[in-house]
Copies of this chain bind each other. A is one copy, B any other.
Amino acid sequence: MNSDFTLAIHSLSFLALQPDRMSTSDAISESAGVHPVRIRKVLSLLKKHGFIKSKEGTGGGFIFALDLSEVNLWDIYKITSEGALQPKCPESNEKCIVGANMQRVLCSIFFGAEEHMGEYLKDYSMKEVVDLVNKRQ
């Protein structure tokens, strides 16, 4: 899977530890070791879904908009990486019973796998992630 999901978690954790002031994409990108534009792209998604607020101009930046325990990893996964489990198959052969039916079967299996992983991810709220980050300083 691509790393938008982990960058989103990283950014939100960063913001969670600065609850009373705005953080710039530069600061977050330095913490995460990626380019600021990428952070802004990911944060743009998070903003669109109401997890964070942003403000332009001097003194601007990003800030968490919800309570930490209201946001879980499945929420974040869905907006950054949904469908990432599904590998894209080339068109297979309709003349062969396997080729003709495999895609349908695999799609349903992978869909189920993603739903199942969702149950696991729902058990991690951002509060728990931040606690884990804090645990070993």
Residues of A at the B interface (CB closer than 8 Å) are 1-3, 5-6, 9-10, 13-14, 17, 30-34, 73, 84-85, 87-93, 96-99, 101-102, 104-106, 108-109, 112-113, 116-117, 119-121, 124, 129, 132-137
Which B residues lie within 8 Å of A84 (CB)? 1
29 contacts between A and B (CB under 8 A): A1-B87, A6-B89, A10-B92, A13-B98, A13-B102, A14-B98, A17-B97, A17-B98, A30-B93, A30-B96, A30-B99, A31-B92, A31-B93, A31-B99, A32-B92, A33-B90, A33-B91, A33-B92, A33-B99, A97-B133, A97-B134, A98-B133, A101-B133, A105-B132, A108-B132, A109-B124, A109-B129, A113-B120, A113-B121
* Chain B residues whose CB sits within 8 angstroms of the CB of A14 once the complex forms: 96, 98
Q: Do the beta carbons of B10 and A90 come within 8 Å of each other?
A: no
Q: Please, how many angstroms separate the alpha-carbon atoms of A46 and B121 in the complex?
A: 31
Contact between B31 and A98 (Cβ–Cβ < 8 Å)?
yes
Provide the residues of chain B in CB contact with A93, threshold 8 Å.
30-33
CA distance A88 to B3 in the complex (A): 7
Q: How far is the CA of A34 from the CA of B93 in the complex (A)?
A: 10
Cα distance A85–B121 in the bound complex, in angstroms = 13
Q: A32, B99: Cβ atoms under 8 Å?
A: yes
Supply 19 further A-B pairs (C-beta < 8 A) apart from A97-B137, A101-B136, A105-B132: A6-B106, A9-B106, A10-B92, A10-B99, A10-B102, A14-B96, A14-B98, A17-B98, A30-B93, A30-B96, A31-B93, A31-B98, A33-B89, A73-B109, A98-B133, A101-B135, A109-B129, A112-B120, A113-B121
